[in-house]
Amino acid sequence: MQSSLTDVITAINTMWVLVTAFLVFFMQLGFGMLEVGLIRTKNAVNLLLKNILDYSIGSIVYWAVGYGLMYGAGNMLFGATYWFLQGIPEMTNGVPTYAYWLFQLAFAGCAATIVCGGVAERTKFIAYLCYSIVVSTLIYPIVGHWIWGGGFLAQMGMLDYAGSSVVHSVGGWAALMGTLALGPRIGKYNKDGSANPIIGHSPALANIGLWILWFGWFGFNPGSSLSGMQVGLNAKVAINTNVAAATGAITAVILSKIMTGKYDLGMVTNGVLAGLVGITAPCAYVSYLSAIAIGAIGCTMCYFVVGFLDKIHVDDPVGALPVHLVNGIWGTLAVGLFHETAGLFNGGGIRQLGIQLLGVVSVAAWVTVTAGFTFWAIKHTVGLRVSSKEELEGLDIGEHGAVSYPEFQITSH
């Protein structure tokens, strides 16, 4: 009887992990639709193909090397076993290791895809593929080992339930280094320093992407329990995830009306995503009311960072930096502020907040150095940016000999 009960529990947990992994995998489509809707028609094929290759390349290199660096036996800085999944135990955290690997692969794919939007509309296709290999093979797995794989941050007690730092900050810091290496798109900024809006071609596609991402986040966050038996925890995480996203949307509507006199769909999209990214680390550790505060604060920071980036001429076509970098940091620190027992606002003192801050700084240092070097090396080898002619005509024609909308094709900026 006991053996049968154990088998049932294992089956439930395995199906939970697999189904939530499928939801996180589905987020790749969400990223693709969101990003392609926020760029111009002449670059749509290019972005969609990068989105496919992100996950495809990640599937191979994370199997070969990334998982071993992240979860293999090693030291406080990196794992050193499980190359090509050789020698893995049959079970990990109560589920078959193959199921656990698939769940972790879906997260790795998200981290790489975040960068795609930040460097959109001017990056060589081959350059992007080179970067994608590095992030899935090395940059992401090392951070994952530090925080989730028993590395030094995990040993110190850093908490990141579902990846505000491990996934979103990694993608955000890498996107920042890519935008700095590339420079702004042609026509984005005037000689007097003012910014020209470059409008994405399809709010409808971007909105579809948003809803897919919101849906997928119910795998991203609740799935991180790795157990379908933890019904109370899973429900709490799902509710906190939802309320942070909803609060982000409401806050964005209010802010956009106050600041511009209009209700801005694009800002509301970013507000929802800011709430989702911000709640990803603390979702299991905070109350419903704290989730509301986290979503509202994250959206507010996102709103003002968008304007700040334009002032310093950092061209981020889809908002990867204010959404993923800023709120990845915010979500990580929010654990130290709002944790129900260890948080500063709940009488827990500053210890947890200090550990979370150390995690933010460590991730920032690692990713900026490694991603910065990667983009520098690409720039001086295969080349990083397309020619001005290609950029003005569109990457779809120059890189792929195709167009997304053959009935019309915009070739100016």
Q: Which residues contact 48 (CB under 8 A, 6 or more apart)?
A: 32, 36
Banded model confidence at residue 408, pLDDT cuts 50, 70, 90: low
Asked whether residue 69 carries a pLDDT value surpassing 50, the answer given is yes
Banded model confidence at residue 2, pLDDT cuts 50, 70, 90: low
Domains in the chain (CATH in brackets) are 2-212+222-400 (1.10.3430.10)
Q: What is the pTM (predicted TM-score) of this model?
A: 0.96
For residue range 204-233, what is the model confidence (pLDDT) as tens digits? Answer: 999 999 999 999 999 999 999 999 999 999
Give pLDDT, residue 283.
Answer: 98
Nearest to 104 by CA among 135, 132, 63: 63
Cα 298 from Cα 337, distance rounded (Å)? 14
Cα 376 from Cα 47, distance rounded (Å)? 22
Give pLDDT, residue 1.
Answer: 52
> Which residue type occupies 259?
M
Neighbouring C-beta atoms of residue 52, cutoff 10 Å: 11
Sign of CA dihedral 258, 259, 262, 268: negative
Cα 46 from Cα 229, distance rounded (Å)? 42
* Rg of the chain (C-alpha set): 21
Terminal CA-CA length for the chain: 69
Banded model confidence at residue 170, pLDDT cuts 50, 70, 90: very high
Q: What is the mean pLDDT of the chain?
A: 96
Contact in structure between 238 and 23 (CB atoms under 8 Å): no
Q: In percent, how much of the chain has pLDDT > 70?
A: 98
For residue range 29-39, what is the model confidence (pLDDT) as tens digits? Answer: 999 999 999 99
Give pLDDT, residue 413.
Answer: 45
Burial of 17 (0-12, 13-18, 19+ CB in 10 A): buried
Average pLDDT for residues 292-309, to the nearest whole number?
97
Sign of CA dihedral 320, 280, 240, 102: positive
Length of the chain measured in residues:
413
Asked whether residue 46 carries a pLDDT value surpassing 90, the answer given is yes
Tell me phi and psi for residue 91, to 5 degrees.
Answer: -125, 145
Q: Which residues contact 380 (CB under 8 A, 6 or more apart)?
A: none
Asked whether residue 63 carries a pLDDT value surpassing 70, the answer given is yes
DSSP β-bridge partners for residue 123: 385
Average pLDDT for residues 126-150, to the nearest whole number?
97
Asked whether residue 293 carries a pLDDT value surpassing 80, the answer given is yes
Burial of 55 (0-12, 13-18, 19+ CB in 10 A): buried
Q: Is 315 helix (H, G, I), strand (E, B) or coil?
A: coil
